[in-house]
Structure 1
């Protein structure tokens, strides 16, 4: 099976390419660095030519309102190129709860990407994942200073990037879901609790102050970022991952 992986040089994409190649598939990474531009369309027809499956792991360069235009244009171009090439399965990676946080521009943009795929001409699959372990340092940096880290008590169920890649590779090599698969980590934390676990593991003595107005995830209400009863649970626990990362 030939699989074109858009964003195939990134954190998730490079692992998806490696997994697919190891399973005997022809996995072709496509990105700006390989001459493929989703916005202008340059190199896109060539990238998807002969592909049985296209996996779209591209991401907007910003998380603000401009991300809506990025996903609208990129998804439209990719669907058109895939239809022209006779691609039989389009897969995207999205976010658990993405349609339930309208206050976040980036989440609205990803929800738009899902809608465009669902309305498109090609059988599709959507893999919705929870937040990645690898992004926790960035989340801490948004609302921290030299003395404290401020985080809301938002419930989260994070997972390792390697487990996200495995879920994407599994879906890409199966029949189109024509729907959504939710994947999540094995443990639920409050975000402020997760921050404390992270700082403790790093030997960082700053206290975590619970502040429900702090950072991007303050806009999230309830437990919409939790995988839910139908979620496929990944095997890697955050504390184990932290220990291995050290």
Structure 2
């Protein structure tokens, strides 16, 4: 199935389109000219082995890494050269691999940091209550320093903080990494809830089965290239995907 047919069928271009995207570290090509898109309101999974280039792709999209070639368009606008803080204002939020919370700030302060681009104080307070509804454990510990939380609680906080910016596009990098199964289940329940509320999500996840069960579509990445794209259900049934990524 071609990755190049970008329109929705109703002529509406996707929310995000990457074309010919290349990322290099020194002389090493981490991402080799990939093309993919994410439509508004859908969850798309990017799966592949360690070192396939998934995280480099997300870091390039969120402008944490320089793009060596190709283009990134978001809401029809070229964003390839925008600085990261501008992307937050445009509605793109990244939950990085390794969570990246502010360890010396409390849960409540971390969440407030997520809303730093906003001036609507009353709505910020409402959104914070919404996050506490999604993650009751954060509410119980709202005055606790983030650095003292468990890995799973920090992942909840990182997702909550990203949602506080009211993004149109949520980029999730390995949300289950290093977490106990019960915590993974909780995190993915929330990801599905947020998706059901209309959030557009690009998900990178080592657990390919979980990623494809959560997404509508998927891309398989190998050695910096996209080698396969299809509906998520079809990828779950694909013998090649099952053998390589689903441990069968």
Query: TM-score, normalised on structure 1?
Result: 0.31
Query: Which has more strand, going by share of residues?
Result: 2
Query: TM-score, normalised on structure 2?
Result: 0.31
